[in-house]
């Protein structure tokens, strides 16, 4: 064993691990650049290396990219990768109140511990865990997705019904495009743009980041609270916080390792399940969702634990645990290394050297991550709004392009961003929509497969409810759904029910007639979506239609209930913030212009045109002519550097157009 440790610790490997973590962290911090892409881009570089060094480099990039996703989640409310969704829930509120630096450091520590626990499981428990992962069948994946959806109950305490409607909406838009498991083209309305479906990461960027940009431009206050003085990394404080969360930290790391070892799940589910469990068992203030560091600890430790966990089926079974693992397996195959069980049994020098390399990379994440995190925090906190808005907007565009090299995805990103912003104002929070979008596909696959197998076996209900593992997940799901209502339930049980509604009186005054009409219009729009989906389902074959039809029917019922609730209680949950309307409208307009011009002028030139428009929208301070010139030139420089980096280093075929 020690031989392998020393084999991993050659100067070259240390250098590769270091460079890999740094490159991964930077790539992962850009919304849209996922760990899969970071790994795929660097695969050709590894062809000249020994398999051990190649694996260490790729593993280090992967580790770094998963952690890097936390920066954008905390500082911009935009998960850089789906794994970091849960990080936004508490990370962004922390950053808003001025604790962004602390949040970044906590994320780094949690990622470190999660990564180490995942790697330790890979070293010590890989074969049994891989066997255990195989016990997870389609039914279990279905219920696991439903378990993930139960987090909606927690995330939408303001209005549970609207949370459920939002999730159903997210599930329905996830069904758009060619369905791989039924082979049908669904909900595209004849458009080839929608054929490829809604790409998850670009949807995340749109739904989370565009509303932030619109609100940034609309108001004059700073993006994040600026600290009075530089406070360093706040490492002791972060360490103390993480220590208070040690149970959460361990539990989330274990959840991350186990979920990572399931080939059909991934970092996003791991993070959400860990978050859900952390929230259920932690009563400390502030509550989860409003800036409790426990939320960051849970998500970040769990998603980094999936790195080691994901390598378990990859190396033991030859089945990629996560999408980046699939790329790494492919790279090994090209190198002529036999992957799969033979690799684990016969190629143990490669495997163990790699595992120690993964430990090394995870440890290096602490210094590298803290330094890069410090830089990311500093630049976002200090940047003037008129520079921040255009640069972030450009990043969202170039990032959503790079995922599938598709300009349509960028358009879809912007449209969903506007939809998310409007929906949020009508009381439909974005997070349930995102959960539906991500988990809907997994749920549908599991549902249709279980149903087919159940029918073949002659017992559909036995398939869904009769398997022991499923029953455990169903019980956990029920607990998770009911948890937010526990205080109310307890009161009902204690007092016999009659006086169960005292909290209602503290609600706000009855809403105005106009507010009620607005609310009903919002609910009506959602109902219309459900009706359109039902109408479209009538032309599909049973396999393709069964899931969306069930969801749309449920959504329609929920819309009816929500409308009834609004009319009867005369209470409306909506978000009516102040701000200038022209500025708000200007942000999506400038972005749309930038997207439309990209193929004509070229990506960078269109980005600069867009940036000019966004600067005007976002500028609230008086600025001298000289200040404008400096700001303009530096923004343009950032855009050109990004374009060059994407085009030359990451080989993204950005449209060149007439200029650049």
> Contact at 8 Å (CB) between 183 and 543?
no
Sole binder of another protein in the list 15, 157, 180, 628 (CB under 8 A): 180
> Contact at 8 Å (CB) between 480 and 280?
yes
Name the one range near another protein by CB under 8 A: 32-40, 106-114, 116-124, 219-227.
Answer: 32-40
Sole binder of another protein in the list 45, 456, 629, 649 (CB under 8 A): 456
Name the one range near another protein by CB under 8 A: 13-21, 34-42, 156-164, 381-389.
Answer: 34-42
Asked if residue 612 binds another protein (CB under 8 A), the reply is: no
Tell which positions 92-111 bind another protein, by CB under 8 A.
none
Residue among 42, 15, 555, 1 at smallest CA distance from 324: 42
Name the one range near another protein by CB under 8 A: 110-118, 381-389, 400-408, 641-649.
Answer: 400-408
Asked if residue 311 binds another protein (CB under 8 A), the reply is: no
Q: CB of residue 51 vs another protein: minimum separation in angstroms?
A: 14
Asked if residue 541 binds another protein (CB under 8 A), the reply is: yes
> Contact at 8 Å (CB) between 197 and 176?
yes
Q: Cα–Cα distance between 363 and 63 in angstroms, integer?
A: 10
- CA–chain centroid gap for 274, Å, is 14
Asked if residue 627 binds another protein (CB under 8 A), the reply is: no
Q: Which residues does residue 186 pair with via DSSP β-bridges, in sequence order? A: 177
Q: Cα–Cα distance between 439 and 185 in angstroms, integer?
A: 20
Q: CB of residue 135 vs another protein: minimum separation in angstroms?
A: 6
Tell which positions 205-234 bind another protein, by CB under 8 A.
none
Token pair of 310 as six digits: 């994901």
Closer Cβ to another protein, 135 or 486, answer by number = 135
Asked if residue 310 binds another protein (CB under 8 A), the reply is: no
Asked if residue 190 binds another protein (CB under 8 A), the reply is: yes
Asked if residue 462 binds another protein (CB under 8 A), the reply is: no
Q: Cα–Cα distance between 95 and 224 in angstroms, integer?
A: 6
Q: Cα–Cα distance between 620 and 218 in angstroms, integer?
A: 9
Tell which positions 263-282 bind another protein, by CB under 8 A.
263-264
Asked if residue 331 binds another protein (CB under 8 A), the reply is: yes
Asked if residue 465 binds another protein (CB under 8 A), the reply is: no
Asked if residue 317 binds another protein (CB under 8 A), the reply is: yes
Sole binder of another protein in the list 319, 562, 598, 614 (CB under 8 A): 319
Q: Cα–Cα distance between 448 and 454 in angstroms, integer?
A: 10
Residue with tokens 């120690």: 356
Asked if residue 534 binds another protein (CB under 8 A), the reply is: no
Q: CB of residue 57 vs another protein: minimum separation in angstroms?
A: 16
Sign of torsion over alpha carbons 410, 411, 417, 419: negative
Interface size with another protein, residues (CB under 8 A): 70
Q: What is the 3-state secondary structure (H, E, C) of 246-279?
A: HHHHHHHHHHHHHHHHCCCCCHHHHHHHHHHHHH
Q: CB of residue 365 vs another protein: minimum separation in angstroms?
A: 24
Q: How many Cβ atoms from other residues are within 10 Å of residue 56's Cβ?
A: 30
Token pair of 320 as six digits: 């990629």
Closer Cβ to another protein, 369 or 446, answer by number = 446
Asked if residue 184 binds another protein (CB under 8 A), the reply is: yes
Tell which positions 118-177 bind another protein, by CB under 8 A.
134-138, 177
Q: Which residues does residue 178 pair with via DSSP β-bridges, in sequence order? A: 185
> Contact at 8 Å (CB) between 336 and 143?
no
Q: CB of residue 270 vs another protein: minimum separation in angstroms?
A: 17
Token pair of 46 as six digits: 């590894």
> Contact at 8 Å (CB) between 78 and 205?
yes
Q: Cα–Cα distance between 612 and 635 in angstroms, integer?
A: 9
Give the ranges where 570-645 is alpha helix by DSSP (H). 581-601, 603-618, 625-644
Q: How many helices (H) and strands (E) does the chain have?
A: 28, 2
Sole binder of another protein in the list 287, 323, 554, 655 (CB under 8 A): 323
Asked if residue 181 binds another protein (CB under 8 A), the reply is: yes
Sole binder of another protein in the list 339, 396, 431, 470 (CB under 8 A): 339
> Contact at 8 Å (CB) between 182 and 544?
yes
Sole binder of another protein in the list 225, 406, 525, 580 (CB under 8 A): 406
Sole binder of another protein in the list 220, 342, 349, 459 (CB under 8 A): 342
Q: CB of residue 34 vs another protein: minimum separation in angstroms?
A: 10
> Contact at 8 Å (CB) between 218 and 583?
yes
Asked if residue 405 binds another protein (CB under 8 A), the reply is: yes
Instruction: Using CB under 8 A, list all residues that contact another protein.
Output: 36-37, 39-40, 43-44, 47, 134-138, 177-178, 180-185, 188, 190, 192, 195-197, 199, 263-264, 313, 317-320, 323, 325-327, 329-331, 333-334, 336, 338-342, 404-406, 445, 448-449, 452-453, 455-458, 541, 543, 651-653, 656, 658-660
């Amino acid at each position: 064993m020690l031989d392998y440790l020393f084999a991993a610790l050659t100067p070259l490997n240390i250098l590769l691990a270091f460079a890999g973590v740094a490159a991964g962290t930077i790539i992962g911090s850009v919304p849209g650049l996922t760990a899969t892409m970071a790994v795929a881009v660097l695969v050709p570089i590894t062809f000249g290396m020994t398999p051990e060094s190649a694996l260490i480099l790729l593993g280090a990039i992967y580790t770094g990219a998963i952690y890097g996703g936390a920066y954008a989640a905390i500082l911009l409310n935009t998960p850089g990768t789906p794994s970091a969704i849960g990080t936004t829930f508490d990370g962004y509120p922390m950053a808003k109140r001025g604790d962004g630096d602390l949040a970044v450091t906590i994320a780094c520590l949690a990622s470190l511990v999660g990564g180490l626990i995942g790697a330790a499981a890979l070293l010590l428990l890989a074969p049994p865990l891989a066997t255990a992962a195989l016990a997870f069948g389609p039914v279990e994946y279905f219920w696991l997705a439903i378990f993930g959806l139960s987090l909606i109950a927690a995330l939408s305490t303001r209005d549970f019904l609207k949370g459920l409607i939002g999730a159903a909406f997210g599930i329905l838009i996830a069904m758009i495009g060619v369905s791989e498991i039924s082979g049908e083209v669904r909900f595209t309305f004849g458009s080839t743009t929608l054929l490829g479906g809604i790409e998850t990461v670009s949807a995340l960027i749109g739904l989370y980041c565009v509303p932030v940009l619109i609100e940034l431009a609309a108001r004059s206050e700073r993006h994040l609270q600026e600290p009075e003085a530089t406070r360093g990394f706040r490492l002791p404080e972060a360490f103390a916080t993480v220590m208070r969360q040690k149970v959460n930290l361990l539990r989330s790391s274990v959840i991350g390792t186990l979920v990572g070892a399931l080939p059909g799940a991934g970092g996003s589910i791991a993070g959400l399940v860990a978050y859900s469990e952390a929230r259920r068992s932690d009563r400390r203030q502030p509550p989860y969702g409003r800036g409790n560091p426990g939320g960051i600890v849970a998500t970040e430790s769990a998603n980094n634990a999936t790195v080691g966990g994901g390598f378990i089926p990859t190396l033991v079974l030859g089945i990629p645990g996560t999408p980046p693992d699939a790329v790494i397996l492919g790279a090994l195959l090209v190198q002529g290394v036999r992957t799969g069980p033979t690799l684990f049994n016969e190629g143990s020098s490669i495997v163990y050297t790699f595992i120690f390399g993964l430990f090394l990379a995870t440890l290096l994440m602490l210094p590298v991550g803290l330094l890069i995190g410090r830089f990311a925090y500093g630049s976002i906190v200090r940047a003037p709004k008129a520079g921040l808005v255009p640069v972030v907007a450009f990043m969202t565009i170039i990032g959503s392009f790079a995922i599938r090299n598709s300009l349509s995805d960028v358009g879809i990103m912007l449209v969903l961003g506007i939809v998310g912003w409007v929906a949020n104002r009508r009381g439909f929070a974005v997070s349930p929509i995102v959960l539906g979008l991500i988990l809907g596909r997994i749920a549908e696959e599991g549902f249709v497969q279980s149903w087919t197998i159940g029918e073949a076996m002659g017992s559909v209900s036995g398939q869904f409810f009769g398997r022991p593992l499923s029953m455990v997940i169903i019980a956990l799901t029920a607990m998770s759904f009911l948890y937010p209502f526990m205080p109310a339930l307890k009161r009902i049980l204690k007092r016999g029910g009659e006086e169960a509604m005292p909290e209602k009186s503290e609600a706000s005054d009855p809403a105005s007639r106009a507010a009620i009409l607005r609310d009903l219009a919002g609910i009506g729009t959602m109902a219309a979506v459900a009706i359109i989906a039902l109408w479209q389902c009538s032309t599909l074959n049973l396999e393709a239609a069964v899931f969306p039809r069930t969801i749309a029917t449920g959504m329609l019922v929920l819309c009816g209930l929500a409308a009834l609730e609004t009319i009867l209680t005369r209470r409306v949950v909506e978000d009516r913030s102040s701000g200038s309307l022209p500025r708000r409208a200007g942000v999506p307009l400038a972005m749309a212009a930038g997207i439309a011009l990209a193929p004509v002028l070229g990506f960078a030139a269109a980005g600069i045109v867009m940036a000019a428009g966004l600067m005007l929208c976002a500028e609230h301070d008086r600025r001298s002519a000289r200040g404008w010139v400096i700001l303009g030139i530096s923004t343009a420089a950032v855009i050109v550097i990004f374009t060059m980096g994407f085009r030359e280093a990451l080989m993204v075929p950005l449209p060149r157009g007439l200029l650049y």
